[in-house]
Structure 1
Amino acid sequence: MSTLPQIEPTGATGEVAELLAEVKKNMGAVPNLVKVMAGSPALLKGWLALSGALSDGVLAPAIRERLAIATAEFNSCEYCLSAHTYVAAKVAKVEATELEAARDAKSADPRAAALLALSDAIIRGHGKVDRTVLADARTAGVTDGEIIEIVGNLALNILTNYLNNVADTDNEWPLVKPRTHS
């Protein structure tokens, strides 16, 4: 049972009702995470803005989903790991072997592997990375724009990981349990 209330769209009023209606229109449903976020319209608006902006960025959906899986695994967020594994498989069409590898910030694809390795180094270093890590990423073809968006995706994913871990959000996704405990 969630430790923070989940605001149902049918009971929402004012700005919260408008935001939840926008989510339902864009996503087809209102995930429980969003229902928790609705407790703070400011946070919900910020999350919608950042996630929308990053979805228009240079990183492909399949990469963003793998980055989210790696971050959720690192932060032991069952909700996000479950949600992003489902979305990666069903929407972004990421193969099962790649879903499993993403949990360890790895990929058989060299480009995806470089992006995941950089993201992993950033999260493990709490934002501090050795210049050789950046040089290795650039040698693998990672652009400055991609480096910046990796940081943005980390911020977005850490936000949802932490909120779900604090709220113990009710998980409506097919369950994927984290292996690690950071």
Structure 2
Amino acid sequence: MSRINLVDPVSATGASAELLGEIRSAFGVAPNMFRAVANSPAALASMWGSFGALGKGRLGAKLGEQIAVAVADRNDCHYCLAAHTALGRKAGATAEEMTAAQHGKSADPKTAAALTFAQKLVEARGQVSDVDVRTLRDAGFDDEDVVEIIAHVALNLFTNYINVALAVPVDFPGVKLVREAA
């Protein structure tokens, strides 16, 4: 049970109603996470705007979703792990690629570098080294990409914290966290 009211898109008003309408158009429904965040129109606008902006970024949807599951697993966020695994599959990732991403792994060296960096960023709370950034560059990422990877991590920290702190009910097919599967 959620620790916060899940705003009903049908009875929502103002900016939250407008944004929930956009979200329903994109997903076919208003997922519970967005319904929880809709309690604050400003927070919902921030979250939805960030998803939209990063969705148009250079990294692509598949890598964005792989980063999301790597971050979700580190933060024990069942909701985001389930949602981003489903979205990653829609973006063209295989089930095996999404499972590997939970572990911060990929058969593609460039993707592996991004996932390793994302996990390090979370674990070290941003305190990465020159070597960590240079490793991304050596894998083929430029400054724009590095900043975009960090933006994906930051957005996913926001969504993880919302879902974990507020116990938002998962409304996507469940996926086991790496630590649970071990």
Matches within 5 A, 1:117-128: 117-128=116-127
Match status 1:21 vs 2:18: no
Q: TM (normalized to structure 1)?
A: 0.95
State the Cα distance separating 1:24 from its structure 2 match.
1.2
1:106-141 CA-partner distances (Å, limit 9, x unpaired): 100111111111112211111111111111211111
Q: Note the residue ranges of structure 1 that are not aligned, 5 or more in a row.
A: none
Aligned residue-pair number? 180
Looking at structure 1, the residues matched to 30 and 42 of structure 2 have their Cα atoms a distance apart, in angstroms, of 17
Contact 2:33 2:163 in 1 (8 A): yes
Looking at structure 2, the residues matched to 56 and 14 of structure 1 have their Cα atoms a distance apart, in angstroms, of 26
Q: Which amino acid aligns with 2:130?
A: R
Contact 1:74 1:180 in 2 (8 A): no
**Deviating runs (4+, > 2 A) in structure 1?**
none
State the Cα distance separating 1:26 from its structure 2 match.
2.5
Aligned to 2:48: 48
**Which stretch of the first structure deviates more once superposed, 21-30 or 78-87?**
21-30
Q: TM (normalized to structure 2)?
A: 0.95
Q: Which amino acid aligns with 1:61?
A: A
Aligned to 1:129: 128
Aligned to 2:39: 39
Aligned to 1:109: 108
Aligned to 2:169: 170
Looking at structure 2, the residues matched to 142 and 27 of structure 1 have their Cα atoms a distance apart, in angstroms, of 31
Looking at structure 2, the residues matched to 156 and 33 of structure 1 have their Cα atoms a distance apart, in angstroms, of 13
Identity of aligned residues (%): 37
Q: What SS is found at the alignment partner of 1:54? A: helix
Looking at structure 1, the residues matched to 126 and 2 of structure 2 have their Cα atoms a distance apart, in angstroms, of 30
Q: Which amino acid aligns with 1:4?
A: I
State the Cα distance separating 1:15 from its structure 2 match.
2.1
Match status 1:88 vs 2:101: no
Aligned to 1:10: 10
Looking at structure 2, the residues matched to 44 and 178 of structure 1 have their Cα atoms a distance apart, in angstroms, of 26
**Coordinate RMSD, CA, aligned:** 1.2
Q: Which amino acid aligns with 1:145?
A: E
Q: What SS is found at the alignment partner of 1:86? A: helix
Looking at structure 2, the residues matched to 96 and 26 of structure 1 have their Cα atoms a distance apart, in angstroms, of 23
Q: What SS is found at the alignment partner of 2:141? A: coil
**Which stretch of the first structure deviates more once superposed, 67-76 or 112-121?**
112-121
